[in-house]
Amino acid sequence: MGTTSVNSSDLNGKELSAELLPEDQFQGVVEEVLESTSFIDIHTHLFSPAFGKIGLWGIDELLTYHYLEAEFFRSSAVTPEQYWRLSKRERADAIWQALFVENAPISESTRGIVAVLHEFDLPTDASGLEESRAFFRAQPLEGHIRRVLEISGVSSVVMTNDPLDPDEEQVWKSGGQKHELFHAVLRLDRILWGWPKHWQQLASQGYAVDEKATGKSIAEIRRFLADWQKRMRPLYMAVSLTDEFRYPDESVTSKILGEAVLPSCRELGLPMSLMIGVRRQVNPALRLAGDGVGKADLRSLENLCRSFPENKFLVSVLSRENQHELCVYARKFNNMMPFGCWWFLNNPSIVEEITRERIELLGTSFIPQHSDARVLEQVIYKWRNTRRTMAPILTNAYKLLKRDGRGVSRKDMQRDVNRLFRSNFENFTGLRGG
């Protein structure tokens, strides 16, 4: 993990003052630097226009986001069965009524909706959604995407692409997408932990694989990965793993990960992203909102980093209780890059706790956040919250540095923010001009 050369200019190439700042200017300059630096959003579930309807945006998608559905069922007598029988529009109306009209939208997710509506001068306390629906209906998608990313201070987003998703597969096999604002990732959940259910999909595409991944299967899976690398040009490969993930063990997951995926990542020069700690479908009635969290045994990560020193691992862990271990492992293995405050951790109070600890243990050698946005406009509030949370944390770190005897300049601050939200990822993936 090489550090970038000290960057003494901002992203627009403007020379930055190396003049040491008085302490009472730290907060203001940190806020300016965070505001003026565009970030790379390294993990989202957003899609470029080429993917059509699987790319979600607009008020009805924002309101029926699974974070809000989980909160809805706590504040409404509507049962999941009744809810799923409603149309998307009726679901959005029900969620708006329960969480924004009958209750104060003070949770992180509901506040986010208010922030998006406010950004577009739309009513945040209306009884209905007609004005908002009309506004979003009127937005030409390409222009709207560029405007939303501009507002969010995001230069590009990294998608989550599943080669076994029929809707996606069709797009990739008919020319794919080349959109400078959207980067691809080869997501391997169906192959790594969904193999028993999905191996036939590879077989039907002409890959000689079998249920137990024996015989030629490993070589064929590697051929599949190489074919999709050519088709997608992904920045990394990725998988989410439960809190019960173990490596090594006798599972087909361990076998495919160790014998096919990691060797292919090495050969293709791609990092592997491991997102560890989800407990899938603890309440299936809630569908996407039904997943939970569990504390994982990170010795599996230790084994992977030690056993595959040539591989690079982008790692995010879902459990609050795993955060300290992850930082300590990052101090032991420089082929591992911690990233993001994932999912149930993406709340300002927890982001603050995790980020302070990471700065104290890792300096600026980590990636603080990703949005995990599933609906386009979510990047507006998720990155606004991140900048808002990061400012006092960085300011405090610089104040402590100055009191310990070393002054700080705008140039220092810009170099560090560049590294945290751009060059750590660019260097880890080889992405240029992200």
Site for ligand FIX, rule CB under 6 A: 160, 240, 275, 288, 343, 372, 374
162 sits near Zn ion (criterion: CB under 5 A) = no
Query: Closest separation between CB of residue 363 and Zn ion, Å?
Result: 26
User: CB under 5 to 8 A by kind: which of ligand FIX, Zn ion, none does 343 bind?
Assistant: ligand FIX
Q: How far apart are CA 66 and CA 56, in angstroms?
A: 13
Nearest Cα to 398, choosing from 39, 15, 3, 22?
Answer: 22
- Full DSSP string of 118-173: HHTT--SS-S--HHHHHHHHT--HHHHHHHHHHHHTEEEEE--B-TT-HHHHHHHH
Query: Closest separation between CB of residue 160 and ligand FIX, Å?
Result: 6
* Residue 293, H or E segment: strand 292-293
- CB-CB contact of 318 with 277 (8 Å): yes
- Say which DSSP state 345 is in: G
Query: Closest separation between CB of residue 273 and ligand FIX, Å?
Result: 9
162-180 b/e with 16+ CB inside 10 Å = b?
bbbbeebbebbeeebbebe
Query: Considering beta carbons, is residue 102 or 244 the nearer one to ligand FIX?
Result: 244
Q: How is residue 372 written in tokens?
A: 């995990």
Query: Considering beta carbons, is residue 229 or 240 the nearer one to ligand FIX?
Result: 240
Query: Closest separation between CB of residue 427 and Zn ion, Å?
Result: 22
User: CB under 5 to 8 A by kind: which of Zn ion, ligand FIX, none does 156 bind?
Assistant: none
Query: Closest separation between CB of residue 94 and ligand FIX, Å?
Result: 21
Query: Considering beta carbons, is residue 202 or 293 the nearer one to Zn ion?
Result: 293
Query: Closest separation between CB of residue 291 and ligand FIX, Å?
Result: 6
- CB-CB contact of 364 with 416 (8 Å): yes
| Residues belonging to the chain | 434
Binding segment for Zn ion among 17-25, 251-259, 305-313, 364-372 (CB under 5 A)? 364-372
x/- map, 372-391, Zn ion, by CB under 5 A: x-------------------
Query: Closest separation between CB of residue 293 and ligand FIX, Å?
Result: 11
Q: How far apart are CA 335 and CA 247, in angstroms?
A: 17
Query: Considering beta carbons, is residue 37 or 152 the nearer one to Zn ion?
Result: 152
User: CB under 5 to 8 A by kind: which of ligand FIX, Zn ion, none does 288 bind?
Assistant: ligand FIX
Query: Considering beta carbons, is residue 60 or 372 the nearer one to Zn ion?
Result: 372
Q: Given the structure tokens 């009127």, which residue do they identify?
A: 138
User: CB under 5 to 8 A by kind: which of ligand FIX, Zn ion, none does 330 bind?
Assistant: none
- Full DSSP string of 99-116: IIISS---SHHHHHHHHH
User: CB under 5 to 8 A by kind: which of Zn ion, ligand FIX, none does 411 bind?
Assistant: none
Contact footprint for Zn ion (CB under 5 A): 372
